[in-house]
Homo-oligomer: A and B are copies of this chain.
C-alpha cells in the first residue's frame, strides 16, 4: 500500500485559506482534513473529533510535552495544534491528508515532514492584497502600510514552499491544487517500486 501524501495549504493571513479549503472539501471528499486540537470551548454544533479535538489546558500541555503535536500556537488564552498521530496514521493507511495552517505552523511541520507538499496560497496582486487589508477595518494609513510590510514578509516565505497557487477565484485555486495533487501522485518516485516488481517478474 502506498503512503498517502501530506498536503500543507498555507499563506499569508487574509488570503482565503479557509474558503479555498472548504471548496476543496466539496470537490475532493476522499481527501482527509487534519483535525486540530484546541483548548477553546466547543461552539454550538461543533463535534469533538470532527471540528476539533477539544482538550483541557492540562491535556494540551501533556500533548506538547510528549511531542504529540506537529506544531502548536497560542492565540489569546487558547491553544491550537496539529495532533501528530492522526496525520501519521491517515498517511500510513494510504490516504492523502490536507493541513490548512498559518505560515509559522507550516514551517514547523516542514521541519518534521519535509516530504510533504507545501502549497502557498497567494493574493493575485499587490493591489488586491492592499484592498483586502484596507477592507478589514478602519486603520490609519500608517497601520495599513505596516500590515502590508508584514504581509509581504509572510509572502517571502514562499521560498520555503513547493508550489504557489494564486487565489484569484476560489474554484480556479481549487483546480490548481487538484492538479498539483494529481501530478504529485505521478512522480516517478511513487511508481519506481512497481517497476521493480515488473523487472523481478520478467527476469525470473
Contact = CB atoms under 8 A, between A and B. Distances in A.
A1 interface: no
Q: How many copies of this protein are present in the complex?
A: 2
A149 to B, nearest CB: 6
Nearest to A120: B188
30 contacts: A120-B188, A126-B201, A148-B202, A149-B202, A152-B202, A152-B203, A155-B195, A155-B198, A155-B199, A158-B188, A158-B191, A158-B192, A158-B195, A159-B188, A161-B188, A162-B187, A162-B188, A163-B183, A163-B186, A164-B188, A164-B190, A164-B191, A165-B186, A176-B182, A179-B180, A179-B182, A179-B183, A180-B183, A182-B183, A183-B183
Given A126-B202, A149-B202, A164-B186, 20 more contacts: A119-B186, A152-B202, A152-B203, A155-B195, A155-B198, A156-B199, A158-B191, A158-B195, A161-B188, A162-B187, A163-B188, A164-B190, A176-B183, A176-B186, A179-B179, A179-B180, A179-B183, A180-B182, A180-B183, A182-B183
